Amino acid sequence: MISRYWSYIKKHWYFFLFGPIFVILSAILEVTLPKITANLINNGIANGDISYIVKQSILMMVIALVTMVSSVLGAIFAINASTRFGANLRRDIFARVQKYSFANLDHLTTGSLITRITNDVTQMQAFVQNMLRMMLRAPTMMIGAMIMAFQLNLSLAMVLCVVIPVLMLSLILLIRGSLSRYSGMQAQLDLLNTQIGESIENERVIKSFAREDFEREKFYTVNDTLYKKSIHALKVMLWIAPICTIAINVATIATVWIAGRQIMIGNMELGTLTAFITYLSQILTQVRVMSIVFERWSRAKASANRIREIFDEELDLTDEESGDCKVEKGSIEFQNVSFRYFKNRREKVLNNISFRIEAGQTVGIIGSTGSGKTTLISMIPRLYDVDEGAVLVDGVDVKAYSFENLRKGIAVVLQKNMLFSGTVRENLYWGKEDANEEELDEASLHSQSSEFLSTFKDGYETELGHGGINLSGGQKQRLCIARALLRKPKILILDDSTSALDTATDAKFRKALREEASDITCLIIAQRISSVMDADRILVMDNGRIVGNGTHAELMRSCQVYREIYLTQKEGDAAND
């Protein structure tokens, strides 16, 4: 575990070094105090030596002051070390998740990733802080106090030899059982976060279907299970305090009993007994502290395992082997492409697909829901990698491009494209960071966004709510298209991205695309044949295969699936009229 996190420690080594030094110093100083007290009672008070008492008292005050200062410094260094550790770990996890492909993201739910980046990192951060403070302080004090206790009186120290092992063993056995319980607790927290994310994100859908009660019940169940699992894991801790208290009391009684007899026969002084009882209490308290550290370690270990999974998740898409070619023209070719989301299943989502699209052509893709249209276009910007065959852009395998060059040349407007909170301008800058006003106006005009933007008082400076919540579906789609056009891509892929536009606006947009962006290769997935009828070519998909490839007229003649879709839509239109 340490080797994995060594880089975080190395980066801020001074906090990790000076923190423990001050903590250990304060612990050593603290264990000297009872011994001085014993001397003060045995030599000063017993003999009425005032000057000895004053000297020892001043010494005790100086030691107490230095202990306090080093303890505060130790805490400051430990807090700095742990918070920096946590911040750097969170940063690296986030960076790792940013590298994930769509397939990687399919494995880990959003809720689980959030729990790991927040709660699990916090557990580890708390552990680092504990490690630097308690984990060093407790053994130092324990060993120091034991040395002092043995020096004070050997026969009394025998009490410790019995009590400490018994106490330690019972605490270790108790806590060891809790490790798996913590893993269960964190996994349940994943579920809770997933559920919260899904419910809040889709609050509007929930309300429109009047499913609030169902969602509430679902949440209560998950929340209740988390409560039960937390109690199950944490109840171990409830036993630690009573066990330690019993141990301290039993040990104190045994000590007083042994010491009382020795004092009565004049073999021991009272100060020795007082100091010994203080050491006894210090030692057993530190055993309790160490058990808490051990318990935190169990929790941190469960969290560390979950964080490790994020780093160990194999990135199934990398561009490490890529050259520096760029998309120059925009031709696309699929050569016998097959693909499955679940590699262990037999059914292919794309089945031996081959076609070619020349640069500058506009091609429509039609097919029933689930026929594989979105999956097909996902292969071009490498959102997923093909299992068999190859996808070529400008005659070069997409795997030979760096992600940056490939995705610079290909703009995709996905079905569920998102806008971000911020102004319209900030959102458009996603397409091109340094776009000037002219470019913004041009992209807005062609995407048919200008007409609604001109009605906004603040124009490009209009603030969008979270996810563009204050825009209509059609307005959101048009801004997403504007954002894509700003990139001046060689290939533009629209995945059902004009579904919320009325027919007239949709037609205007396609006309603008034809006239103003004729050099861009366009792939348009559409539900309605009317949206792609005038394309250079239409691909018809059915059950993961291409079953038609031609113009509207050709397909009407030769492709039964296309004809059926056309007729169904025509009947639907007639029924609506």
Q: What are φ and ψ of residue 16, in 5° steps?
A: -70, -20
Block residue for tokens 């070094």: 17
Instruction: Single out the residue of 284, 270, 261 nearest to residue 45, CA to CA.
Output: 270
Buried b / exposed e over 231-267, threshold 16 CB at 10 Å, is: eebeebeeebeebbeebbebbbebbeebbeebeeeee
Nearest distance, CB of residue 499 and ligand ADP, angstroms: 12
Selected range binding ligand ADP among 233-241, 277-285, 367-375, 507-515, rule: CB under 6 A: 367-375
Q: Which stretch binds ligand ADP (CB under 6 A): 46-54, 254-262, 372-380, 549-557?
A: 372-380
Q: How many angstroms separate the CA atoms of 251 and 262, rounded? A: 17
Binders of ligand ADP among 90-109, rule CB under 6 A? 106
Smaller CB distance to ligand ADP: residue 106 or 201?
Answer: 106
Of 364 and 372, which CB lies nearer to ligand ADP in the complex structure?
Answer: 372
CB of 69 to ligand ADP, least distance (A): 58
Minimum separation from the CB atom of position 368 to ligand ADP (A): 7
- Counting contacts by CB under 6 A, is residue 347 touching ligand ADP? no
Q: Which residue, 72 or 105, has its beta carbon nearer to ligand ADP?
A: 105
- Specify the residue, 375 or 498, whose C-beta has the smaller distance to ligand ADP: 375
User: Which of 34, 367, 409, 489 touches ligand ADP (CB under 6 A)?
Assistant: 367
Q: How many residues bind ligand ADP (CB under 6 A)?
A: 11
Work out how close the CB of 349 gets to ligand ADP at its nearest, in angstroms, rounded to a whole number.
4
Residue 341 touching ligand ADP (CB under 6 A):
yes
Does the CA dihedral 548-551-557-560 come out positive or negative? positive
- Residues 75, 80, 85, 87: is their CA dihedral positive or negative? positive
Residue with tokens 């031709």: 331
Q: How far apart are CA 401 and CA 319, in angstroms?
A: 7
* Residue 373 found at the interface with ligand ADP (CB under 6 A): yes
From the CB of 340, what's the least distance to ligand ADP, in Å? 9
> Interface with ligand ADP includes 369 (CB under 6 A)?
yes
According to the binding rule CB under 6 A, does residue 374 interact with ligand ADP? Answer: yes
Nearest-angstrom CA–CA distance, 120 and 112: 10
Q: Which of 380, 309, 388 is nearest to 353 (CA)?
A: 388
Which residue, 104 or 119, has its beta carbon nearer to ligand ADP?
104
Cα–Cα distance measured from residue 57 to residue 64, given in angstroms and rounded to the nearest whole number: 10
Query: 């946590």: which residue's tokens?
Result: 86
Which CB sits closer to ligand ADP, 197 or 459? 197
Q: Does 371 bind ligand ADP (CB under 6 A)?
A: yes
Q: Which residues pair with 390 in a beta bridge?
A: 335
Nearer to ligand ADP by C-beta: 44 or 372?
Answer: 372
User: Among 160-168, 356-364, 369-377, 402-410, which window interacts with ligand ADP (CB under 6 A)?
Assistant: 369-377
Cβ atoms within 10 A of the Cβ of 283, count?
25
Nearest distance in Å: CB 396, ligand ADP = 25
Q: Say if strands 388-393 and 332-339 run parallel, antiparallel, or are unpaired.
A: antiparallel
Cα(432)–Cα(379) distance, rounded to whole angstroms?
A: 23
372 makes contact with ligand ADP (CB under 6 A): yes
Burial (0-12, 13-18, 19+ Cβ within 10 Å), 344: exposed
User: In terms of CB distance, is 29 or 376 closer to ligand ADP?
Assistant: 376
Q: Is 375 in the site for ligand ADP (CB under 6 A)?
A: yes
The tally of CA atoms less than 13 A away on the side-chain side of residue 161 is 8
Nearer to ligand ADP by C-beta: 81 or 559? 559
Listed ranges 11-19, 117-125, 368-376, 531-539: which one lies at the site for ligand ADP (CB under 6 A): 368-376
Which residues, in sequence order, are bridge partners of residue 333? 356, 392
Kindly list the residues in this chain that would bind ligand ADP in the complex (CB under 6 A): 106, 341, 349, 367, 369-375
